[in-house]
Amino acid sequence: MSDSERKNTLTIRDNRTGRDYEVDVLDGDVIRAMDLRKIKVHDTDFGMMAYDPGFTNTAFTTSRITEVKGGKGILEYRGYPIEQLAGQATYLEVAHLILNGELPNGKELDDFVDDVTFHTYVHENVLTILQGFRYDAHAMGMMISTVAALSTFYPEAKQVDDPENRRIQIVRLLAKMPTLAAFAFRHHKGLPYVYPENGLSYTANFLNMLFRIGGREYEPHPALVRALDVLFVLHADHEQNCSTTAMRVIGSSRVDPYSAMAGAMGALYGPLHGGANEAVLRMLTEIGTTDNIPAFMDSVRRGERRLMGFGHRVYKAYDPRATIIKRAADEVFEVTGRSPLLDIALELEKIALQEEYFVKRNLYPNVDFYSGLIYQAMGFPVELFPVLFAIPRTVGWLAQWEEMVVDREQKIARPRQVFRGHPRRDFVPIELR
Ligand code: CMC
């Protein structure tokens, strides 16, 4: 076809009627779902829709924040490759980038860090809420509830159309998530809460609130603080995943960001998403020794189990985050000693990268495969793993929420369904059923 004949449109032939329809092609290879609506057999028909369970081939939004090129294993925040950010930037620097679109200069970063540090305290009544949880409550359940409860402490957060109001709630959530997580952990342990220490960095302060005992100085090893920062950078955003979509969907009703984020956290908690890091560690513990790997892999091949920490909807190559995490794991193990579960993980990966079942399905390690081993080596209990995903993902959720709120093309999320239920029928009184 010559250039002059080439058009940025798609012609669709409806073989039910023999009619042709021409629809515009946008952004390279996207059509508007609403353009399908004009395809009808009768004028009174509703029109054509696309059926897409799990949104596997539906762009729900445009976005300028994060790009995942799944076939090539590339992840970029605002255009910057994840490898460069993880190697050279702090989490709060990356958070500023994700929220504002550009890397901060020195003054902007200082102001942002000050702002976040200033808001790390939570209202004392939040402690009363935590007291209501059983001693063995899962940290993620406590987090979801307390984040939702924050909406009642900041009722002005309802004013989602006010940019300054949005900004302050974003800073509050970024600042308070580590505090809430540490308090949930201390509740679980029955330990008194350690309040934020504002002279410390974001990650050092978090570790201090978690692990400090009594008046004794707690000095986390700098390599561990840095490793946690790297993990936070890797988890900061991942475009339209399950929890981010939940954030956008809930936020599209114009509810406050605390309520929307509690919903997003619920989505993250599931074992197929952010709960996978916890599931990986439980799986490795259950396998126990490398001798048990063949039987375990047999059950995966039979479809009875999933190899947790493997596979991804978008990546059909090695998840770039997993490569960085694997390197970070070595650095952490130098300080903490090697995890005995590492051998099992390495052997599982070796088998999976060679075996037809996994190769055919493009199943590679994802971000969750090695992160749990690091968290465990650093002393985090397994129930805290999804929380360690939620804290850094807060910035991604909020940046995506902000983008959605100001996007003039967005509307309340309200998908369609293909109804396959009973057609109309008349009510039958109970004595006649
Ligand atoms: N172990 C064994 N088989 C798998 C796995 C796995 N981890 N993942 C996918 N498959 C198989 C699946 O059974 C299916 O096989 P078949 O075609 O024979 O039915 C095929 O691969 C395609 O799987 P799918 O479920 O259609 O793929 P999906 O894109 O809907 O699911 C996933 C993506 C991440 C939910 C899935 O790979 C999975 O369950 N992985 C394990 C959980 C996990 O590690 N989640 C963390 C994801 S990364 C962190 C995050 O951002 O959430």
Residue ranges in the chain modelled with pLDDT below 50: none
CB-based contact 390:177 (threshold 8 Å): yes
325 CA from centroid of ligand 1 (Å): 20
The CA-CA-CA angle for residues 7, 17, 33, to 5°, reads 50
**Phi/psi-derived region of residue 370, left when phi > 0, alpha when psi is between -120 and 50, beta in every other case:** alpha
pLDDT value at residue 175: 98
CB-based contact 91:232 (threshold 8 Å): yes
CA nearest ligand 1 atom 51, residue: 273
Q: What does the alpha-carbon distance between residue 193 and residue 248 come to, in Å, rounded to a whole number?
A: 33
Pocket mutation for ligand 1, best pick of 359, 366, 388, 389 (most atoms within 8 Å of C-beta): 366
Burial class (CB in 10 A: 0-12, 13-18, 19+), 51: exposed
Q: Specify whether 27 is catalytic.
A: no
Q: Tokens 């099992």 map to which residue?
A: 344
255 CA from centroid of ligand 1 (Å): 32
Give the DSSP letter of residue 71.
Answer: T
Q: Which residues contact 146 (CB under 8 A, 6 or more apart)?
A: 122, 126, 129, 130, 180, 184
The three-class DSSP label of residue 199 is: coil
CB atoms within 10 A of CB 79: 11
pLDDT value at residue 37: 97
* Amino acid in position 131: Q
312 CA from centroid of ligand 1 (Å): 6
> CB of 363 closer than 6 A to ligand 1?
yes
> CB of 40 closer than 6 A to ligand 1?
no
pLDDT value at residue 336: 92
- Token pair for 68: 């995942």
CB atoms within 10 A of CB 103: 15
pLDDT value at residue 385: 94
How far is C-alpha 3 from the chain's CA centre?
A: 43
pLDDT value at residue 14: 98
Q: Specify whether 138 is catalytic.
A: no
CB-based contact 393:266 (threshold 8 Å): no
pLDDT value at residue 317: 87
Pocket mutation for ligand 1, best pick of 240, 272, 298 (most atoms within 8 Å of C-beta): 272
pLDDT value at residue 253: 98
pLDDT value at residue 183: 97
272 CA from centroid of ligand 1 (Å): 8
Q: Which of 119, 123, 221, 273 is catalytic?
A: 273
Q: What does the alpha-carbon distance between residue 301 and residue 3 come to, in Å, rounded to a whole number?
A: 49
* Amino acid in position 56: T
Measuring CA to CA, how many Å separate 318 from each of 283, 388, 396?
Answer: 21, 22, 22
Q: Specify whether 368 is catalytic.
A: yes
Q: What does the alpha-carbon distance between residue 323 and residue 94 come to, in Å, rounded to a whole number?
A: 19
The three-class DSSP label of residue 175 is: helix
Q: pLDDT tens, 301-342?
A: 999 999 999 999 999 888 999 999 989 998 899 999 988 899
> CB of 370 closer than 6 A to ligand 1?
no
